[in-house]
C-alpha cells in the first residue's frame, strides 16, 4: 500500500473514524486555506518513490526565469494602463525545472498514487463533489525540481485545490510561504498583494514541509512562494493535477513555455491536444 492507511483511512471512507477525519480535513482546508497530511506516503514506499524520481530529474525543463504573480491568469489586466508599481506589472524570479507528465513512467509509484481511485475518492470527500484527473498530456502530473538557489516567486495558481506531495526536502531553505485568502472572486485586493510583494509579512504564514507530506492548498486565492533552497540536496515536489471539472486540459502554449520546444515538436508531428 502506497498510502499510509494506518494513519489516514482513505481505504474505508464510510467508517466513523474516516468520516471524523474527513470533517477535520475539510474544516482546516476551509478555515486556513491549507491542510497538511504528514507521512501520507509510507516511509519505505516514499524512499522508493523519491529514488525513482531522482532518476528522471535530468529530464526537467527550466522554463521561464522571470514571471508575473498572475502568470496563470493570462488575460488579467491585459488592456489596462497600469502604473509600474501595480502587482500586475510585478516580475519575480523563478528558478526551478519541471518534469512533465509524459516523462514520468506509468510504473513509477508516483504515477500509481496519482492514478489511484483512493485519491479521487478522498479528495472528492474533502471537496464534497466529484474529482477528476487533469487530462492534459504534460500538465496533469509534474515534478518540480529545485537545486541550490532554486526558488519560486510570489504567485497565484489556476486551481482552487492544489494537491502536492513533497518527495524530498532540501538541507535548508525551500520553505513554503503563503498569504491565505488574500483575494476573492469579487476582489483582487491589489493593495494587500502589493504589500506582500514589497516585503510586508503581516499576512504571511509558513509551512515547513517534511518529505512524505501531502498538501491541499487553495492556491487560486492565496498568494504563495517557495524561498531559495540552501545546500546541494534538491527539493523535489510532485504536483498532482486534479479538478472538479471533467476532461480538463491545459493550454498548448503554456506547455511549450514550461516544458520546452519538444512539446511543440510533438504537437506538430503527433498532436496530443484535442482539435
Q: What is the CATH number of the domain that holds 207?
A: 2.60.120.620
| Dihedral over alpha carbons 50, 18, 218, 43 (to 10 degrees) | -10
Domain span including residue 48: 16-77+89-269
Q: Give, as one character, the DSSP assignment of residue 234.
A: P
With respect to residue 254, please indicate whether it lies within any of the assigned structural domains.
yes
Cα angle, residue 154 at apex, residues 197 and 111 outer, rounded to 5°: 170
In a domain, 155, yes or no: yes
Residue 1, in any domain of the structure: no
Domain membership flag for residue 11: no
Total domain count for the chain?
1
Burial class for 202, CB neighbours closer than 10 Å (0-12, 13-18, 19+):
exposed
Q: What is the pLDDT of residue 74?
A: 56
263 in a structural domain? yes
Q: Is residue 2 part of a domain?
A: no
The residue among 97, 95, 90 whose CA lies nearest residue 62 is: 97
The Cα 109–Cα 106 span in angstroms is 8
pLDDT number for residue 72 = 67
Q: Point out the least confidently predicted range of 10-24, 44-58, 64-78.
A: 64-78
Q: Half-sphere exposure of residue 153, counting CA atoms within 13 Å on the CB side? A: 20
Is residue 137 within 8 Å of 51, Cβ to Cβ?
no
User: pLDDT per residue over 174-208, tens digit each?
Assistant: 999 999 999 999 999 999 999 999 999 999 999 99
Residue 7 belongs to a domain: no
Amino acid at each position: 500500500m502506497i498510502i499510509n492507511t494506518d494513519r489516514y483511512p482513505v481505504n474505508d471512507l464510510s467508517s466513523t473514524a474516516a468520516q471524523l477525519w474527513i470533517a477535520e480535513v475539510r474544516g482546516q482546508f476551509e478555515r486556513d486555506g491549507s491542510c497538511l497530511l504528514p507521512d501520507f506516503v509510507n516511509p519505505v514506499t516514499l524512499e522508493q518513490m523519491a529514488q525513482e524520481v531522482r532518476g528522471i530529474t535530468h529530464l526537467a525543463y527550466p522554463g521561464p526565469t522571470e514571471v508575473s504573480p498572475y502568470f496563470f491568469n493570462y488575460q488579467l489586466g491585459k488592456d489596462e494602463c497600469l502604473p509600474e508599481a501595480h502587482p500586475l506589472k510585478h516580475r519575480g524570479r523563478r528558478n526551478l525545472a519541471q518534469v512533465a507528465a509524459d516523462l514520468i513512467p506509468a510504473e513509477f509509484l508516483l504515477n500509481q498514487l496519482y492514478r489511484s481511485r483512493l485519491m479521487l475518492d478522498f479528495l472528492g470527500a474533502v471537496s464534497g463533489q466529484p474529482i477528476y484527473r487533469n487530462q492534459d498530456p504534460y500538465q496533469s502530473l509534474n515534478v518540480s525540481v529545485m537545486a541550490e538557489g532554486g526558488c519560486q516567486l510570489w504567485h497565484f495558481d489556476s486551481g482552487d485545490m492544489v494537491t502536492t506531495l513533497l518527495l524530498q526536502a532540501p538541507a535548508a531553505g525551500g520553505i513554503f510561504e503563503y498569504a491565505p485568502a488574500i483575494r476573492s472572486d469579487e476582489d483582487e485586493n491589489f493593495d494587500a498583494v502589493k504589500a506582500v510583494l514589497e516585503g510586508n509579512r503581516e499576512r504571511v504564514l509558513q509551512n515547513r514541509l517534511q518529505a512524505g507530506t501531502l498538501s491541499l492548498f487553495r492556491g487560486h486565492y492565496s498568494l504563495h512562494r517557495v524561498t531559495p533552497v540552501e545546500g546541494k540536496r534538491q527539493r523535489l515536489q510532485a504536483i498532482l493535477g486534479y479538478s472538479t471539472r471533467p476532461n480538463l486540459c491545459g493550454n498548448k502554449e503554456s506547455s511549450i513555455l514550461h516544458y520546452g520546444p519538444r512539446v511543440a515538436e510533438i504537437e506538430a508531428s503527433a498532436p496530443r491536444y484535442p482539435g
